Amino acid sequence: MLEDSWVAHPRGRIFVRTFLPSRASVMARPIVLLHDSLGSVDLWRGFPAALAEGTGRRVIAYDRLGFGRSDARYEQLSCEFVADEADTYFPVIREQLGLERFVLFGHSVGGGMALHCAARFGNACDALITESAQAFVEERTITGIRAAKEQFEQEDQFARLEKYHGDKARWVLNAWTETWLSPEFANWSLETVLPRVKCPLLVMHGMQDEFGSPRHPKMIASRVSCAAHMELMPDTHHMPHRERQVRVVEVVASFLNRLSFKP
């Protein structure tokens, strides 16, 4: 079952979709999904519904401002855009959706955003899952983005972005490639925020991830101030939730079931 809604942010409307499991646990905290650099609610595909069923929890996905069905953005992203999601947008989403306590799941750059959200709202975030999250800018990241940028110069490939982002597609692509490839972004990292993360953490990463080596999950798991479980997946690239959906749901469900939350 799906429920669609909108969050009214001062900078524009944000689209939200909630996936309801057939049998929900009353006490279970909802899982909030934060998508990747080219992502949207629709690009999660069947994963949110599968995650809801596999965990017995509500799963909430939203299109960041400028993406998917949310309103457009026109400004160039600053080098602080990862932290800015936690400072500027997520607080409004949390307030309007009434999320007193929650679990965060962030994919790729959404993983970095989820880490910032967990650090900012430590008393409300019961657990955190990162998938394919980048912790810094390495050569593999740059090489992968350059290859993707070249690929999207092809008309049929760019049309794939337009299918999900409409006339915002060019902004979405540039917000990813031009920000990450800029010299000003070269020294970006999660180093300062990681020690402020204190909730239980699951770090998932594909061993063949084309945008980040296993150095990323190892850095995340070793620098946080909490218990962290790392799941490195062989023969898996940047989209574990799509490549190995059943396994990812199993790992997440097992991780959450091991935790004991207070009502």
Residue spans per domain, the chain: 2-136+190-257
Q: How far apart are CA 69 and CA 85, in angstroms?
A: 17
Residue position matching structure tokens 């999320």: 99
- pLDDT at position 26: 60
Please report, as a single letter, which amino acid is at residue 48: P
Which 8-state DSSP code applies to residue 237? Answer: -
Q: Are 119 and 82 in contact (CB under 8 A)?
A: no
Q: Which residues, 6 or more positions from 132, have their beta carbon under 8 angstroms from its beta carbon?
A: 36, 107, 108, 111, 204, 205, 206, 209, 211, 212, 238, 239, 240
- pLDDT at position 143: 97
Q: How far apart are CA 209 and CA 33, in angstroms?
A: 20
Please report, as a single letter, which amino acid is at residue 179: T
Which class is 2-136+190-257 in CATH? alpha beta
What is the residue-level pLDDT of the chain in tens, covering all 263 positions?
A: 899 999 999 999 999 999 999 986 767 899 999 999 999 999 999 999 999 999 999 999 999 999 999 999 999 999 999 999 999 999 999 999 999 999 999 999 999 999 999 999 999 999 999 999 999 999 999 999 999 999 999 999 999 999 999 999 999 999 999 999 999 999 999 999 999 999 999 999 999 999 999 999 999 999 999 999 999 999 999 999 999 999 999 999 999 999 865 44
Q: How far apart are CA 31 and CA 240, in angstroms?
A: 17
- pLDDT at position 261: 52
Measured CA angle at 113 (ends 109, 115), to 5 deg: 115
- pLDDT at position 1: 85
The DSSP secondary structure of 142-210, one letter per residue, reads HHHHHHHHHHTTSHHHHHHHHHHHGGGHHHHHHHHHHHHTSGGGTT-BSTTTGGG--S-EEEEEETT-T
